[in-house]
Amino acid sequence: MKKLAFSAALLLGLLSVAAETSAQGFHARPPKQPVASSQVPVYLNDRKPIEERVEDALSRMTLEEKVAVCHAQSKFCSPGVKRLGIPEVWMTDGPHGIRPEVKWDEWDQAGWTNDSCVAFPALTCLAASWNREASLLYGISIGEEARYRNKTVILGPGVNIYRTPLNGRNFEYMGEDPYLAAEMVVPYVQGVQSNGVAACVKHYALNNQEINRHTTNVIVDDRTLYEIYLPAFKAAVQEGGAWTIMAAYNRYKDQHACTNKYLLLDILKGEWGFDGAVVSDWGGVHETPQAITNGLDMEFGSWTDGLTNGVSNAYDNYYLANPYLNALRSGKASEEVLNDKVRRVLRLIFRTEMNRRRPWGSLCSDEHYQAARRIGAEGIVLLQNKNNTLPINVDEASKKILVVGENAIKMMTVGGGSSSLKVQREISPLDGIREAVAGRAEVVYARGYVGDPSGEYNGVVTGQNLNDDRTPEALIAEAVEAARAADYVIFVGGLNKSAHQDCEDSDRAGLELPYGQDRVIEALAAVSKNLVVVNVSGNAVAMPWVKKVPAIVQAWFIGSEAGHAIADVLFGEVNPSGKLPMTFPVKLSDSPAHASGDVNQYPGVPRGDGSPILDEKYTEGIYVGYRWYDTKKIRPLFAFGHGLSYTTFKYGKATASAKTINADGSLTVSIDVTNTGSRAGAEVVQLYITDKKCTVDRPTKELKGFEKVSLAPGETKTVKFTIAKQALSFFDATAHKWVAEPGVFTAHIAAAADDVRSSVDFELK
C-alpha cells in the first residue's frame, strides 16, 4: 500500500475540531472558525480555475521537483511533489480492462488478491457495434474500474488504422476507416474521463505493425497522414477532450514518434491545440535533446532493471531525469520549455488526482458484466447465414449440439501483450452454449485441433491444462464421428493471443487460419449440413471453405462475458447487428499493403548503412481498406460495413433537402428504413460520399456518416444525415489545408461498402 504524504499546506483548513490530552483524558476543543478560502494555497483550492492553480503550483516548485514529475519512478508511476502535497500519477494498461498490479520495478505480479477485473470486449468488437452509445457505456464502465483501483490514467483507447491484416495488434484498435474510428473514440474518452480518470489515446502515430516496431521509419505523404492516420487522434483531442496522448515506438521523418517535432509540436500541440500531457510508450525514448525540445512531457519505461549505469535508482538516468537536469543547470536547456511540460503534468493531476469531485468508481460490478455482455453481443457480426441456419432453435428440432475447437475452451483474456488481464471470471464459448440450452439440448465437445495449450503472461496463469498428445488425424476423426450424430455443429476457432497471431510485438505470418483448422472445417462441412463457424479473432482470416459452410459468425475477443455474448447471438436472444470495421480479403495479395509484393511497402527494408533502421513506404497512400477494394474493383471476401441480421430491412429512396450546397452551408439527406421481417432488430445505415470530378485522385467513395437504428417488425424510421463542406474535403498537402472543390457529389446510402441501396446527387457551389 502506498504511504500518504501530508504537508502543512494540504492539511490547512481541513481540521476544524481537535482534541487535547489532559490528566483526565480527551476533551473537545471549542470549534474553530472555518479557514477562509483566501488562506488556502491557490493550487489546493479546487474552486479556482485550473490554469490559476497550475501557475500557483508551478511557482512553488524547485527545478529538481519540476524535472522529477516529467519521468517515472517505477514501472507505472511518476512522482508528484511530496513537499507540496501534490500526488503521484499512476498509469494502468488498458484498453480492455485494468491490468493487475506488478512489482514496483519489475513486470512480475505483485501478488495482490484484489486486483482482478472485468475484461471488456476488444476494441475491434466495440468498433463493430457502430454504436456511439455503446462506446460511451464502455468508457464509463472501464473508467469506473480504473477509478476504484485509484488509477490516474488508462493507457487506451487505441486508434491506429488497420493497414494490414497481419498487424498483431489490430485487435486493440478500431478498424480501417478514420471516420468510424473518430466517431467511436470520442464517447469512449468522454466516458472514461467522466470518472476523473484520464484516457491516454494511443499510439500516436503511424504505429500500424508490430514487426520491427522500434526501428521502422514510416515514409508517407502529408495527404495520407492527414486523411487516414490522424483523424481519430484529432477527434479524441478536439471533440473528446483527451487529457493524455501516448506517442508511438516507430519512426517518422527519421525521428522517433515519442520525440517527433512534426507530430507532437507542429500538429498535436500546434494545429490541434492539445493542452494535455504527451506520454511516451514504455521504452520509446532514445535520447535527451529531442526528448527535451520536441514535445514529450512524461517518460516511462526507458531503463527499468534498476541496474543500468550502476546506479541505485535507474529512473534517475532516464533521458528526462538527471541528463535533463544537468542540461538545465549548465544552461543548455530552457526552463521555459520545462515549465510547459510541468504545466501539462499539473493540469493532468488537477483534472484527476486533485479533483475532489471524482466519483469513487466500482470494480467487477454486475453492471460492468452486463455492459461487457451487451457490447460483446452487439459487436458480433453475422457474416453468412445460408438457409437461415441461425438462430438455433433447440425447442424445435435441435436436441444434440456438437461444439468443436480449442477456442471454445481456451481463456482469451490472458496474453496478447500489454492488454493481458487477470479477470475475476471468463465465460468460455462452450460454457455459454451449455448454459443457454441447459435442460433443453445435449451439448458434447470435441477438441478438433491443438493450438497453443499454454496460458500464462507476466505471471498471470489461466490454470487450464489444454495439453493433448493426439495426432491431428485422430482429433479430426473424433470430431467427424461426433458430427454425424449431431443436429448442429458449432466450430469455434480462429486466432489466439500467442506470438505471431493477435499479439503485441509480433505480426502474423499469413492470412490463413493456424493449427490446421481449415482441414477440420472442411471435414465437418462434409458431414454436417448445419455447420456454424465462429471465428474468434481481432483480424481478418482467409476462408477457403466459405462456400461449404452455411453460417459464419465473427466473434472477436469479447472478454469476461464471451461465452454468454456468443450464445446470445447463436440462439437468438440477441439479433445480431454488428458490422465489420475492416475488410476481409479473399487472399493477402488483395489487400493494399501487400498487393505489390514489395517489401518496401511491408514490412520495410534495411537502409544498408549498418543501422538497424528500416524504411517503409506507404505507397498505397490514401487507398486503405475499402477505398482500395472499391477503386481497384477487387471483390472482398466480406466488405467493410458488412453484417447480416435475423430480420430483413428495406431501404427507401434517398432524398436531399436541396440540390446545391454553399461552402458555408449544409444539406440533409434522408431515407426511410423499414423492418420487413418478424423480429426486432437494428440496422447500421451508412453514408458514403463520391466526388464525381476532382483535380486530385480520390477514392470511389468514403464513409462520412452512419446511424444505428432499432426497428420493431413492420416499423419504419427516417434516417437523416447532415452534409457540410467538411464531408466533401480532401487535404491539399501543398497548401496544407482542407479543400472542397466545387462540383457534383453523390451521397450513397448503404448497408455495407459493397451494398449501396440508394444514391442522390447534389452540387457544391
* Active site positions, annotated: 281
Contact 749, 707 (CB under 8 A): no
The rounded distance, in Å, linking the Cα atoms of 741 and 730 is: 9
Q: Which of 338, 346, 309 is nearest to 79 (CA)?
A: 346
End-to-end CA gap in the chain: 65
Q: Kindly write down the DSSP assignment for every residue of 484-520, as one continuous string.
A: HT-SEEEEEEE--SSTTSS-TT---S-SSPSTTHHHH
The rounded distance, in Å, linking the Cα atoms of 661 and 765 is: 6
The rounded distance, in Å, linking the Cα atoms of 303 and 318 is: 7
Do β-strands 77-78 and 89-93 pair in parallel, antiparallel, or remain unpaired? Answer: antiparallel
Do β-strands 730-732 and 716-724 pair in parallel, antiparallel, or remain unpaired? Answer: unpaired
Q: Is the dihedral of CA 80, 82, 86, 89 positive or negative?
A: positive
Contact 756, 749 (CB under 8 A): yes
- Cell 482534541: give the residue: 19
C-alpha cell at 120: 471488456
What number of other Cβ atoms are within 10 A of residue 690's Cβ? Answer: 19
Which H helix or E strand runs over 293?
A: helix 288-293
Q: What share of the chain is helix, strand, coil (3-state, %, to 5)?
A: 30, 20, 50
DSSP state of 259: G
The rounded distance, in Å, linking the Cα atoms of 417 and 457 is: 8
C-alpha cell at 392: 438455433
C-alpha cell at 409: 475452451
The rounded distance, in Å, linking the Cα atoms of 315 and 121 is: 34
* Alpha-helix runs per DSSP H in 535-636: 562-570, 626-632
DSSP state of 299: B
Q: Is the dihedral of CA 277, 283, 288, 293 positive or negative?
A: negative
